[in-house]
Structure 1
């Protein structure tokens, strides 16, 4: 007999998710992993845009894209047309029971349906209402649409990502995952948790205004600080680090190796390991600041010494010496890695029709209230009837009338 699942730390919290694509759904998936009951509202006949963002697609009746599956577990999907007055009223009734509403429509886009913060606060005064937009609710760009790729460029991230200008392949480069969307989703979840704690202490709900551009600028971290506090304009440096040297990839005789040395002790041990112990006593390289200033001179000596090694052998001796080094894994390699298996990061779930789906789990391990995996990413509208009956008490005749009128829909 299987052990009963521990209720997540957000058990009892209801999230009404009006968002689509990635930043909002990523936030609601985090909340769902932690135990919240997430009701995902989708447009009848359309569904979340990412359901069509393939190939690859699931080989089942839904033909949902793999992209959609990455951000929508632990949710129940209801298909409601909010453009219909009866549909907007259903969503208002859901909001009256919800703790959190998440939306990522353009600024003011939900007001015409009576689903904006001011309208919903009238039916639920302690509601936490999260709005995610490209540029926020204020400022000269507030009415512009925001997309991850655009924000990566506008935020300055692409100015420090990629090979330097003048080198083959040099120029601005986006990150290989939609990092602005994902980090906005994480900041959104953090903000919701903070607002829930504030409500617990005061009984007061609030509006959360979160922008992709603000999030990505906040994540410039050391690069922005180098400019603000040191006057250094960050530039694209490929895989090199702007402050710490050596912290990059090096060519070996049969491939490449990653070397990430963060302090003087590690540098001394590494130079001894590769047969260049005198480098650590050279006044140009003995301390981190010197290595950064004299980067080119140091690399001119390290590169030929490292090139004599086979990559696996160098990684092995670095590991034995407790020095941080490794290789660049491809996605299949990392997902099959013994460390990832030991951490239990890959989970297999089954959709309502039995179709298996693999997902990457919640990375934090909470000893008393761990993340749970209760619902595989749903088909669009598959929970419409059940949720309307359970949450709003709608009877069979009323549900059939709404289905016939196109206000709601079942599974696509």
Structure 2
């Protein structure tokens, strides 16, 4: 049911809500059989999340269609004896279990690491949470916007209400909320690979707060080592290269913008030749001295005027023709019509809709996942499979197996 065939034969049982469902989502995109356990009567919380409903006012949300595509949905009550038995048999048949709720959910049900590893020593359990297993914020109810704010990645404006279309005091897109799935999937695959080779399982823990911390190493590592670092020669006191105008964004004739990334001599020379501005090459943008800021600002003003003489499309064509580093700036609406976007396999069609495909490309295969399942759609199918195969449940106690 997944998008590709790379993980054919890998089974993952997922007990997750909202963003942690993206861990199983990445694995399903690569071809794993991801069995999503959903609570009776409610189901996955992300099913109807978001301001846009697909197919009708009560239709699913895009995050559900992305993160849960290619999975099989099983309605199972883990608070009942029948649900516990079915879950344990599913876990015994799987390479990995993903827990993506507030930390300790499976433990509180008696279905955590000790129970799972006891019945199958090669089990991989990936516990995905907001704040992790330790620390004073462990039990803090959190959400996607907060992780970045906690780690200093999200700037907020408390002086006024959020403008239309913006929530959480900032228009910045959450980063850790979306990145946690990739980290979790990477960890699961590494642990499964080891388990298949050695028979040794692993208990993994990935938190969105920790992902936010790790996302910008220059910031956090710099803060951790304050007073023990030295300013690198050739950089300005405010942390920029002296040729910062060659690493900036500029407005274009059509009201758009271009990102200019031509600070290496090769690209800078190609640009000046292409726009017939050899005089700019004479400006010293390498030295850091009392006049460096004035020289940089002069070049910025000149480039600002130059970039306003052409449209984004014209600049993009010129960059390609003359091997100049940079590219056009898009809004999301403009992106879907961008020629590079439309020329590549960045989307797939399903049920009359278009969706963004996995960023992974497998040469020779088409990305074609099954649609995210209806709530409980595979309950009978999956439970029938484990009844037929009857995977063994082993309990290990003090070195003995029963």
- The TM-score normalised by the length of structure 2 is 0.80
Write the deviation string for residues 141-200 of structure 1: whole angstroms up to 9, x where unpaired: 2222332210111111125x99xxxxxxxxx84533x32122111011111111112112
Shift of 1:324: 2.8
Contact 1:252 1:307 in 2 (8 A): yes
Write the deviation string for residues 71-105 of structure 1: whole angstroms up to 9, x where unpaired: 11110111112223322332122111111111122
Match of 2:78 among 79, 82, 90: 82
Contact 1:76 1:375 in 2 (8 A): no
**Counterpart mapping for 1:60-99 below 5 A:** 63-99=59-95
Paired with 1:251 and 1:47, the residues of 2 have a C-alpha distance of: 47
Indicate how the Cα distance of structure 1 residues 41 and 293 shifts in structure 2: closer, same or farther if over 3 A, else same.
farther
Greater shift after overlay, 57-66 or 110-119? 57-66
Write the deviation string for residues 13-49 of structure 1: whole angstroms up to 9, x where unpaired: 1100101212x22121211122211101111221111
Query: Is 2:141 aligned against 1:140?
Result: no
Write the deviation string for residues 194-248 of structure 1: whole angstroms up to 9, x where unpaired: 111211232100111111111111110344456557568xxxxxxxx95554223
Shift of 1:128: 0.4
* Structure 2: 5+ residue stretches without partners: 158-168, 232-238, 391-402
Match of 1:21 in 2: 18
Contact 2:21 2:100 in 1 (8 A): no
Shift of 1:263: 1.7
Match of 1:309 in 2: 310
Match of 2:371 in 1: 376
Indicate how the Cα distance of structure 1 residues 253 and 333 shifts in structure 2: closer, same or farther if over 3 A, else same.
closer
Contact 1:357 1:376 in 2 (8 A): no
Match of 2:119 in 1: 123
Task: Give secondary structure in 1 for the equivalent of 2:268.
Answer: helix
Paired with 2:86 and 2:296, the residues of 1 have a C-alpha distance of: 63
Paired with 1:101 and 1:386, the residues of 2 have a C-alpha distance of: 19
Paired with 1:317 and 1:85, the residues of 2 have a C-alpha distance of: 68
Count of aligned pairs: 366
Indicate how the Cα distance of structure 1 residues 173 and 222 shifts in structure 2: closer, same or farther if over 3 A, else same.
farther
Contact 2:74 2:382 in 1 (8 A): yes
Indicate how the Cα distance of structure 1 residues 59 and 302 shifts in structure 2: closer, same or farther if over 3 A, else same.
closer
Greater shift after overlay, 114-123 or 285-294? 285-294
Paired with 1:105 and 1:253, the residues of 2 have a C-alpha distance of: 49
Indicate how the Cα distance of structure 1 residues 29 and 6 shifts in structure 2: closer, same or farther if over 3 A, else same.
closer
**Counterpart mapping for 1:216-365 below 5 A:** 216-224=212-220, 228=225, 230=229, 242-243=240-241, 245-258=245-258, 259-283=260-284, 285-286=285-286, 295-349=296-350, 355-365=351-361
Contact 1:73 1:373 in 2 (8 A): no
- The TM-score normalised by the length of structure 1 is 0.78
Query: Is 2:35 aligned against 1:39?
Result: yes
Paired with 1:288 and 1:255, the residues of 2 have a C-alpha distance of: 34
Shift of 1:262: 4.5
Indicate how the Cα distance of structure 1 residues 374 and 251 shifts in structure 2: closer, same or farther if over 3 A, else same.
closer
Indicate how the Cα distance of structure 1 residues 318 and 202 shifts in structure 2: closer, same or farther if over 3 A, else same.
same
Paired with 1:115 and 1:288, the residues of 2 have a C-alpha distance of: 61
Paired with 2:305 and 2:107, the residues of 1 have a C-alpha distance of: 64
Task: Give secondary structure in 2 for the equivalent of 1:255.
Answer: coil
Task: Give secondary structure in 2 for the equivalent of 1:132.
Answer: strand
Contact 1:8 1:35 in 2 (8 A): yes
Greater shift after overlay, 34-43 or 248-257? 248-257
CA RMSD of aligned residues (A): 3.3
Paired with 1:101 and 1:293, the residues of 2 have a C-alpha distance of: 59
Shift of 1:55: 3.5
Contact 2:11 2:34 in 1 (8 A): yes
Write the deviation string for residues 242-292 of structure 1: whole angstroms up to 9, x where unpaired: 555422321233313212224222122223333432222322x14799978
Indicate how the Cα distance of structure 1 residues 201 and 190 shifts in structure 2: closer, same or farther if over 3 A, else same.
same
